[in-house]
Each structure stands twice: as C-alpha cells, then as structure tokens.
Amino acid sequence: MARTLFQGEPPEEQIEVCPVTETQNIIAGRWKLIILWHLSKQTRRFGELQKLAPGISKGILTRQLRELEDDQMVHREVYKEVPPKVEYSLTPKGKSFIPVLDIMGEWGKNIGRVTKKNSSPSPKIKKNVLEHICSSTFFLIVFSTDFPLFKNLAL
C-alpha cells in the first residue's frame, strides 16, 4: 500500500506530531526510492527502469511512476513518433530530493559495511537519528549533520 488511508490533506494534528508524514506519503511504495535513485542519475525510458528494478511488474512500475508524477516528483515526456517513445526525468521538486537519496545511499553503504564486518559504524557519517511513530508506522531517517540542509535541525 503506497498511500495513507485518509483522503485529502492529512489532519493538522498529524502534521504537528510527525512532520515527515508528507515525505512518507510521497516516497511510500516498494519501488519509489529505487526509481528516484535511477532517475537522479539520468533520464530513463520505461524499459530501462524495468531492467534496473528486477522483479517489478509493468503494472506496478506504471502505478509508482504515475504516483510520482502526480506528486510532481517525476516528469513524463511523450514523443510523438512511431513507435511511441516516453522518457521519465526528475522535476525540480524531484531534484530537490537528491540530497536525501545521497544521504540514504551513504547510510546504506555504511550500514552494509557494519553488518558485514560486525563492527561499529564508520565515523564518516555522524549519527543523528530522528525517530517518529506516525499512525502506527515506524519511520526512521538518518541525517548527516555535515549536510547544510540539516545543520540547523534542532533535535
């Protein structure tokens, strides 16, 4: 399930209690982060995205792309030619999410090393963990305090 159960805007109390609710609504979905990651590298066609995400069905990829398009994270360009050509790229809003993807990628590389070595995390990434429990959903985001966007974040 990619979207929250309520329709329309989230209740004001939800936003105040958990400010990551809107982010969670946009990126929720098994393949959305992977799609955004690949689109952050370059513009892609549907078939390329499907190859880059092995195991995703055409229907699910289509749905996830449409939701990202509805959320103005992805732009869909249709070329009027035969055979039809469609390309997907990040919008300015989608590009603004790239630093978050980069931090998540660094965290993933780091935690992968920790799991394999069974040791402490590398000091390269300062650990500031912001945990929220939102609508019975545990949502964890790891921030690097070296990244300018998060320097003034008060925890």
**Three-class secondary structure of residue 124 per DSSP:** coil
* Residue 30 domain flag: yes
The domain that holds 62 is classified in CATH as 1.10.10.10
Q: How far is CA 146 from CA 27, 99, 107, 125, 151, in A?
A: 24, 12, 13, 8, 7
| pLDDT at residue 32 is higher than 50 | yes
* pLDDT (0 to 100) of residue 74: 98
* Residue 6 domain flag: no
> In this structure, are residues 88 and 49 in contact, taking their beta carbons and an 8 Å threshold?
yes
Find the mean pLDDT for residues 50-57: 92
* pLDDT (0 to 100) of residue 33: 95
Structure tokens belonging to residue 133? 């429990």
| pLDDT at residue 143 is higher than 60 | no
* pLDDT (0 to 100) of residue 154: 42
d(CA 12, CA 151): 26
Reported as a pLDDT band with limits 50, 70 and 90, residue 132 is: very low
* Residue 8 domain flag: no
Following CA atoms 104, 105, 108, 109 in sequence, which dihedral angle do they give, to the nearest 10 degrees? -150
* Residue 26 domain flag: yes
| pLDDT at residue 138 is higher than 70 | no
Model-wide pTM > 0.75: no
| pLDDT at residue 142 is higher than 50 | no
| pLDDT at residue 113 is higher than 90 | no
| pLDDT at residue 140 is higher than 50 | no
d(CA 73, CA 24): 13
* pLDDT (0 to 100) of residue 1: 39
| Average pLDDT taken over every residue of the chain | 75
* Residue 81 domain flag: yes
**More confident: 5 or 99:** 99
Q: Is the bond leading into 83 cis (omega within 30 degrees of zero)?
A: yes
Task: Write out the H or E segment, with its range, that includes residue 60.
Answer: helix 58-70
> In this structure, are residues 130 and 143 in contact, taking their beta carbons and an 8 Å threshold?
yes
Structure tokens belonging to residue 132? 């929220």
| pLDDT at residue 151 is higher than 70 | no
* Residue 5 domain flag: no
* Residue 75 domain flag: yes
d(CA 124, CA 114): 13
Which residues fall within 8 angstroms of residue 70, CB to CB, at 6 or more apart?
none
* Residue 96 domain flag: yes
Domain that holds residue 139: 13-150
Instruction: Tell me how many domains the chain contains.
Output: 1
